[in-house]
Chains A and B, each alone.
Chain A
C-alpha cells in the first residue's frame, strides 16, 4: 500500500486465491495481514485490505481513485468489475469483457 489511508494494496507478486499475505507500507513496515478470497490477484493488480461498501471511496496513494460499484470484502480482487471512476468512464464494452 502506498499510504496509511489506503483501503487497497497492490500485489507485488502473483497471489493465489485463499492465501495470507503481508500488506506493507512504502517504509517496508507491515501494516496488516490479509487473506485473498476466491479470486487470485495477478502481479500489479489490487486487493482490498478492508471492507469497502458499495458506493464507498476506493483509496490509493491516500487519494480517491473511484467508488466501489458493489460491496468488496477484505482480500477481494479490486478492478474494473467492482470499481468505477468518478470522472470518466471507459466505453461499456470494457466492463462487459471483464464479466
Chain B
C-alpha cells in the first residue's frame, strides 16, 4: 500500500505541508494571529497554561513542531517567558526543517514584530510551499486512533470498524498510536494480554492504574464521563472502556510510549501498535499523538463532533446511523451500516483504510473543508502527581 506525501529532511514523511506559527504562550497569541493573517498555508497555534507551563507542555509544543506534516515553524514569544521561543525553536530545528523565532519585546512592539514576522513567513512560504508529493510505502504512516462523544454504537460499530482498519494497517507495516488510559479502566486485561513482553505488560497496568488515581481522588466529585455518554446508553467506565479498546484492533501492543516531564517518546520506526500515556480529552489527546509523530488521526464518535486539529487531518467515523444522518456534513465515514445490518465490520474497515490513504495523499477531510484547526495541550500537574504519590 502506498500514499503520496512530502519528504522531510529527517526522513519522515508529511501528509500536509503546513507552516506553523506558534505563539509559545497566550500573551503573544494576538501578535501571532496578526502575523498569520492573510498568508496562505499558515496555521497559528498557542497554549493556555501561561508562560511557565512546565516541561510536559514544552515537550508537546516541540513534538508538534517536529511533526512531519509541519514544513516550517515560526515561533513567537513575548521575550520574558519561562518557556521562551528560542530554545523550543532550536530543538525543532534539529529536524532540519526551516525554523525561526522572534521576540515581540526585542522586535520593538506589535507593529515591528508583525512586520518582521510577516517577512519571515513570506520567505518560508517561498521555500516550502512549492514542494511536491511523491510516493511512499504505508510503513511511513502513523495513524492515531481516538474516540469521543461515545455512545453504545461506538463499542458495537465505530470502534470495531476502526479496529479492523488498525489490523489492516499494522499488517501492511504501518504504525498506530492510541492514548486515553482512563478509557482502559476495566479493560486492562484484554489489552495487557496483547503485550509483546512482560515489561510492556507491566507498563500497561501501571499507566492505567496511575490514570485511575488521577481521576478518582477520594472526597473529590470528579466527572470522567460526559453526559452524552450516559444519554447514549453507557452505564459505567468499564463498559465505556471495553467499547473504546475495540478501536485498537487485535495486534500485539509493542510498547507504552512515555509522556512525562522528562520525555515525550515518539512512535518508533518499524510500524505496529503502540499505547501512549496521555490524556483522553480531545483535541489535547490529538496534540500528544501529533507530538509522537502521528500524521493522521481517526476520531470515532457516537454523539457527533465538529472539530479538527491544527497539524493532523482528522477522519471522523460514526457508528450511529442517526448521527450520520443528522451530521453527514461532518462525518467522513458512516459505520452505522453495521448497526443497520447492511455492512460487515471488515467492509467498513476496508473503507477506512482507503480513506486514510486518500487523505494521506491530499484529499481534504470534512473538518479540513471547514478550516477547523483546533489546538490545545494538556499538562499533568507535578504538584498533584506528588500529592497522589504517582511516580513517573
* Complex contacts, B230 vs chain A, CB 8 Å: 79-80, 90, 94
Smallest Cβ-Cβ distance to B151: which chain A residue: A44
- Does A78 interact with chain B (Cβ within 8 Å)? yes
A to B contact number (C-beta, < 8 Å): 88
Chain A residues close to B by CB (< 8 Å): 2, 10, 12, 28, 42-46, 58, 60-61, 63-66, 78-80, 83-94
| A10/B152 in contact, CB under 8 A | yes
Q: Can you show 15 pairs from A to B with CB atoms below 8 A apart?
A: A10-B152, A10-B233, A42-B233, A44-B233, A46-B152, A63-B189, A63-B190, A63-B242, A64-B238, A79-B233, A86-B238, A87-B212, A89-B216, A91-B222, A94-B223
List the 8 shortest-distance A-B pairs measured between CB atoms, nearest first.
A85-B236, A91-B221, A65-B239, A45-B233, A44-B233, A66-B236, A44-B152, A65-B238
* Complex contacts, B216 vs chain A, CB 8 Å: 87-89
Q: From A45, A65, A87, name the one whose CB has the most chain B CB atoms within 10 angstroms.
A: A65
Smallest Cβ-Cβ distance to A86: which chain B residue: B238
| A91/B235 in contact, CB under 8 A | no
Smallest Cβ-Cβ distance to A82: which chain B residue: B235
| A46/B233 in contact, CB under 8 A | yes
In angstroms, Cα B225 to Cα A86, docked, is: 15
- Known A-B contacts: A2-B156, A66-B239, A78-B235. Give 16 more (CB < 8 A): A2-B155, A10-B156, A44-B302, A45-B152, A46-B152, A46-B233, A60-B239, A63-B189, A64-B238, A65-B242, A79-B233, A79-B235, A87-B186, A87-B236, A88-B212, A91-B221
In angstroms, Cα B279 to Cα A50, docked, is: 37
| A63/B237 in contact, CB under 8 A | no
In chain B, positions 297-319 with a C-beta closer than 8 Å to chain A are: 302
Chain B: number of interface residues, binned into ranges: 20 to 34
| A66/B235 in contact, CB under 8 A | yes
In angstroms, Cα B215 to Cα A78, docked, is: 25
In angstroms, Cα B221 to Cα A64, docked, is: 24
Smallest Cβ-Cβ distance to B153: which chain A residue: A44
| A87/B242 in contact, CB under 8 A | no
Q: What 1/0 flags go to B148-178 for Cβ under 8 Å of A?
A: 0001110110000000000000000000000
Smallest Cβ-Cβ distance to B345: which chain A residue: A26
| B232/A44 in contact, CB under 8 A | yes
- Does B106 interact with chain A (Cβ within 8 Å)? no
* Complex contacts, B236 vs chain A, CB 8 Å: 65-66, 80, 83-87
In chain B, positions 204-219 with a C-beta closer than 8 Å to chain A are: 212, 215-216
* Complex contacts, B212 vs chain A, CB 8 Å: 87-88
Looking at the assembled complex, report how far the CB atom of A99 sits from the nearest CB atom of chain B, in whole angstroms. Answer: 14
| B222/A66 in contact, CB under 8 A | no
Looking at the assembled complex, report how far the CB atom of A19 sits from the nearest CB atom of chain B, in whole angstroms. Answer: 18
Given known contacts A10-B233, A85-B237, A65 and B152 CB-to-CB distance under 8 angstroms: no
* Complex contacts, A87 vs chain B, CB 8 Å: 185-186, 212, 216, 236-238
In angstroms, Cα B322 to Cα A64, docked, is: 28
In chain B, positions 178-232 with a C-beta closer than 8 Å to chain A are: 185-187, 189-190, 212, 215-216, 221-225, 230, 232
